[in-house]
Structure 1
Amino acid sequence: MFHVKTVPALSRAGADIAFKRVCSSRRLRSTVTSTSVTQTEPRDGVSSRGGARHDSARSECAGQPGSGGERGGTTTTTTATANEISVDFDQTREAYKSKDSLELLRSLVVFKLCSYDFLVDKNKEIMDLGKKIMGQKGFNQFMKMTFYGQFVAGEDHMAIRPLIQKNQAFGVGSVLDYSVEEDISQKEAEQKEMNSCVSTAEKDSIGKLPRLFSFVDTVYDVIRSNRHANLFSPPGGDHREKKYKVHKQFGDHREGVTGARTYFYADESKCDQHMETFIKCIKASGGSSMDGFSAVKMTALGRPQFLLQFSEVLVKWRRFFSFLASQQGKDGMEALEQRLELKQMQEFLTKLGAKGDFYGWFSGKKEESSGTIDMLDWNSLIDDRTNISDLLVVPNVELGELEPLLEMFTVEEENQMKRILQRMDVLVKHAMENGVRLMVDAEQTYFQPAISRLTLEMQRTYNKEKPVIFNTYQCYLKEAYDSVTMDVELSRREGWHFAAKLVRGAYMYQERERANENGYEDPINPDYETTNWMYHRCLDYVLDEIALNRNANVMVASHNEDTVKHTLKRMNELGLLPTENKVYFGQLLGMCDQISFPLGQAGFPVYKYVPYGPVNEVMPYLSRRAQENRGFMKGAQKERELLWQELKRRVASGELLYRPAY
């Protein structure tokens, strides 16, 4: 079914990899050979990265997911010849050996029903009618036999254990995700979003947040129009960007979202309830499997106003760096290649009327400074002083000093924002106590810069010994590669474990519509081919980093068979073994079993994203999943063919009553 061919030592992870890196100058696009990636235009390569190397010979024992070996009476074939890994995704007997025939039939029926537009469009009305005819109890039982049973593991942490343990026995682990979602009207959702994303200071047009924006925006204006102005006059307008303002028509951010649960802020006690739910999920993951994952969403843990405004601070500050670099003739370069000459920057800002010793911001002693800074040095000014729960500070270019970000809000708002960080801190500590890794989900681009930054701060604190916190990178974003490369570089400089989940993205339709309606640049790649190219580019970069420095880790969260094959090919080239537990694979429960289970039985760490929760409370999530995944279901022709093939094989061989043995 599959052949795993290995060599005893990672001979290519040393001099050969280093030589390959120099020769290629990190032009990873040359390694993207998957047939799913169609490059529609030439793209420049990327030069070699700087920074100190933090090599590690640390190897981790393989966890139960991907442990291979005998599964239900079938033995994995392993041949030790060339450094080559080959997994056959077309062998139905091995792919579906964890399923009985009724489960195969259910998959066929569910996939087929999800491909009919009428049923998907009217799914809410059909479910309401079903409840009236069958009653609540009968309806719940029917859902457990069909859609709920296909995509959801169970109602609580006890009910999900049998499925988790069965998958584990066949080499597949779990990422637990409590998928309960509020079933509220669009009007209620819009009102909650409007109330939770606007601060008192913003309502009253007071506060200090616009001061940084005023300065930066005025600098742009002065340079572009080549005129003089008083850069430090009191702000005379709204310097908030449309992207980071709440818009009522997009207040219900459940619309146009693919397979991601959504939270709306009610009050602090509700956020505490969400935290307790995540803690139960973490404990369930720790009690059900070894080396499991638990998924969390930052917007469930506090008022989103902080995430919205902090995201704008981060984005404007990074953009200001790029603007200053362009003034020094360094535009058009990759993010990590741009370096600012500090003396030139000091002269430029002083000429424009700014005060302060900006040179001194980046070096305690001028004589010890290299005289240049890159984006990571620049970003370090927006920092936390000692740990995650401390007040964040931001640079005030106008006054030439650093000031607390949270001074911009009322006392109550400040406490609300501190509690977001405190809740995340509690969750991480519970994860470590239970031997569980925490997967921080990606969200909309107007929240994501803050979410990524706070996740990064947790990684700097808790990923020193092993990867505990995984950040999620959405590769349909134009800036995905820059985000990945900068975070990898920071982890190398500081010596902690980079850990990432790579996804294509869940908010494309919503993001595009919002950008179009509100007049800002679409953050999404122009087409699917470009997104594929971006995904593989980011993946190749991290795989190369793993080969050079065993401190990096990546989960390839994809249903795309070509992407999985591409990953296996790159692992072959780099000498990366599945038993090192550095490269993980992930798919959704109930989908793409023909990829997940062959990988797991071949010894790869592979995980199912496992939603769970009471039937009624998970239905809003399932309803949207049916609507948003209709395109995937229509395109799941190969999966349906393999399911039919296996059913027919069992009928012909007298195995129709087959029961998985584990």
Structure 2
Amino acid sequence: MRFITHGSAKSSSRTGIFERIVNSNRNIILLSGGVILTAAGFTGHQGPTPYPSVTSSNDRTDLLLSEPQRPYSSKSMTDILRSLLVFKLCQLTPLVSLTPYILKYSEALNIDQPIHAIIRHTFFSHFCGGEDINEVVKTMSAFHHMGIRCILDYAIEADTDAPLASPDEAGLYAANIADTLMQSIDVAKLFPGSLIAVKVTALLPPRTLADWSGILCKVDSCISSSSTGDGVITKEQLIYGLQAAGATLDEASTIYNAASELSDNRVDRISLSQVLSVWHPQGKIVLSRLAKLGDYSTVVDNALEEMKSVCFYARDCHVGILIDAEQTYFQPAVSEQAFL
């Protein structure tokens, strides 16, 4: 898991530094976020942390935004200089671009151990809060003392160049990821106000998400090209947009009628998004065919159920969830997953 600031899409290049370490040990727990102040936020007056082996019930800190230097009081000069070095290195575009290749060929040249040692004592030590749950809890407790809340982000994501798993493999992988997210919730609930972040590309094959997003974008683009600007989508506009994406007249009419029923015969983008969705029984059939999901439609169904289980468990544990923004060509499908 990582400490993150929510709201910006991640570039695939930044994950290259950690991809080999994470891929070699799926049990690694990451907890990051750049400098200490990019954690979730400030809790102000703090009560005791519910992890008695780490902190005392008398530890209370009033941390004000007007005093951003206070969290650094717990850091040594070595830690601060290391953080400065890491940020300076991250600004070197050639180094960022070459990092995946350095990691790839270091093993062939039998220098992977020193390379990993360098990474572990620089980037890993800066961005990551522990390699197991106990280390993560200890790090979160330190932040908790300073009145800083955390967002736990399981650092597993994928891009379209990832090998396409079989439907069975994808389903098993999604179930394992969901189980890890629930473990993250168990950690987050130890510190009130903590949240977890979910990457949808960890739950669904990236190519499936890309195909799904492509259909949504194509329909929206066709509708926008004939829009009158009043926000209303006519039946003719919707039929044109859906047929341009490959839908039949009957399928387009079915989607329009369902959206019309939801919005008192006034279809707009909101009502359309509620129907042309994998969450809607009729829309799911049409969307699955247009996106050519085939056998992966079952994978999508299972991933949605896993997502619901994670969300309901988080609700029961009073832990908030953020759906992490990802690459733009995934985002329409990622956003739809967020509308649970």
Bucket of the pairwise TM-score, normalised by the shorter protein: 0.5 to 0.7
Amino acid at match of 2:179: E
| Aligned mate of 1:147, from 104, 123, 126 | 123
| Aligned mate of 1:272, from 161, 166, 175 | 175
Matched, 1:423 2:306: yes
* SS of equivalent to 2:73: coil
Shift, 1:318, TM fit: 2.4
| Aligned mate of 2:144, from 168, 181, 203 | 168
Matched, 1:338 2:231: yes
Q: What is aligned with 2:53? A: none
Task: List aligned pairs for 1:35-434, cutoff 5 A.
Answer: 66-69=42-45, 87=66, 92=69, 94=70, 96-114=72-90, 125=102, 128=106, 143-179=119-155, 190=161, 192-193=163-164, 267-287=170-190, 289-325=191-227, 330=228, 333=229, 337-340=230-233, 361-363=258-260, 369=264, 372-383=266-277, 388=279, 391=281, 393=283, 404-406=286-288, 412-434=295-317
Are residues 291 and 347 of structure 1, via their aligned partners in 2, closer, same or farther at CA, if it must alter by over 3 Å? closer
Instruction: Tell which structure's C-alpha radius of gyration is larger.
Output: 1
Amino acid at match of 1:192: P
* SS of equivalent to 1:87: coil
Task: List aligned pairs for 1:615-630, cutoff 5 A.
Answer: none
Shift, 1:381, TM fit: 3.4
Are residues 190 and 283 of structure 1, via their aligned partners in 2, closer, same or farther at CA, if it must alter by over 3 Å? same
Are residues 382 and 100 of structure 1, via their aligned partners in 2, closer, same or farther at CA, if it must alter by over 3 Å? same
Residues 157, 202 of structure 2: 8 Å contact kept: no
Are residues 165 and 347 of structure 1, via their aligned partners in 2, closer, same or farther at CA, if it must alter by over 3 Å? closer
Q: Distance in 2 between matches of 1:158 and 1:451?
A: 31
Amino acid at match of 1:153: G
* SS of equivalent to 2:84: helix
Q: Could you list the per-position Cα deviations for residues 131-167 of structure 1 after superposition, in whole angstroms to 9, with x for gaps in the alignment?
A: 968x95x877765543321111110221111221111
* SS of equivalent to 2:134: coil
Are residues 284 and 139 of structure 1, via their aligned partners in 2, closer, same or farther at CA, if it must alter by over 3 Å? farther
| Aligned mate of 1:450, from 328, 333, 339 | 333
Amino acid at match of 2:171: E
Percent of paired sites with the same residue: 23
Aligned Cα RMSD in Å?
A: 4.6
Structure 2 residue runs without a partner (length 5+): 1-39, 47-57, 242-247
More strand by share: 1
Residues 308, 446 of structure 1: 8 Å contact kept: yes
Are residues 67 and 304 of structure 1, via their aligned partners in 2, closer, same or farther at CA, if it must alter by over 3 Å? closer
Give TM-score, length-normalised by structure 2: 0.63
Q: Distance in 2 between matches of 1:95 and 1:423?
A: 37
Q: Distance in 1 between matches of 2:120 and 2:181?
A: 24
Residues 63, 147 of structure 2: 8 Å contact kept: no
Residues 44, 61 of structure 2: 8 Å contact kept: no
Are residues 347 and 281 of structure 1, via their aligned partners in 2, closer, same or farther at CA, if it must alter by over 3 Å? closer
Shift, 1:174, TM fit: 0.8
Give TM-score, length-normalised by structure 1: 0.35
Q: Distance in 2 between matches of 1:152 and 1:406?
A: 38
Shift, 1:449, TM fit: 0.9
Aligned residues: 278
Residues 198, 323 of structure 2: 8 Å contact kept: yes
Are residues 339 and 98 of structure 1, via their aligned partners in 2, closer, same or farther at CA, if it must alter by over 3 Å? same
Q: Could you list the per-position Cα deviations for residues 352-391 of structure 1 after superposition, in whole angstroms to 9, with x for gaps in the alignment?
A: x9676998555559xx95x64432233343246xxx4x64
* SS of equivalent to 1:322: helix
Amino acid at match of 2:132: D
Q: Distance in 1 between matches of 2:277 and 2:96?
A: 46
State which drifts further: 429-438 or 305-314. 305-314
Q: Distance in 2 between matches of 1:414 and 1:429?
A: 23
Are residues 191 and 72 of structure 1, via their aligned partners in 2, closer, same or farther at CA, if it must alter by over 3 Å? closer
| Aligned mate of 1:435, from 312, 318, 323 | 318
Q: What is aligned with 2:19? A: none
Are residues 425 and 307 of structure 1, via their aligned partners in 2, closer, same or farther at CA, if it must alter by over 3 Å? same
Residues 43, 147 of structure 2: 8 Å contact kept: yes
Shift, 1:420, TM fit: 1.5
Q: Distance in 2 between matches of 1:310 and 1:417?
A: 10
Q: Distance in 1 between matches of 2:277 and 2:83?
A: 49
Structure 1 residue runs without a partner (length 5+): 1-63, 78-85, 200-264, 395-402, 459-662
Residues 171, 303 of structure 2: 8 Å contact kept: no
Are residues 375 and 149 of structure 1, via their aligned partners in 2, closer, same or farther at CA, if it must alter by over 3 Å? same
Are residues 375 and 179 of structure 1, via their aligned partners in 2, closer, same or farther at CA, if it must alter by over 3 Å? closer
Q: Distance in 2 between matches of 1:283 and 1:324?
A: 49
Shift, 1:411, TM fit: 6.8
Q: Distance in 1 between matches of 2:255 and 2:94?
A: 62
Residues 391, 404 of structure 1: 8 Å contact kept: no
Q: Distance in 1 between matches of 2:238 and 2:83?
A: 64
Residues 318, 379 of structure 1: 8 Å contact kept: no
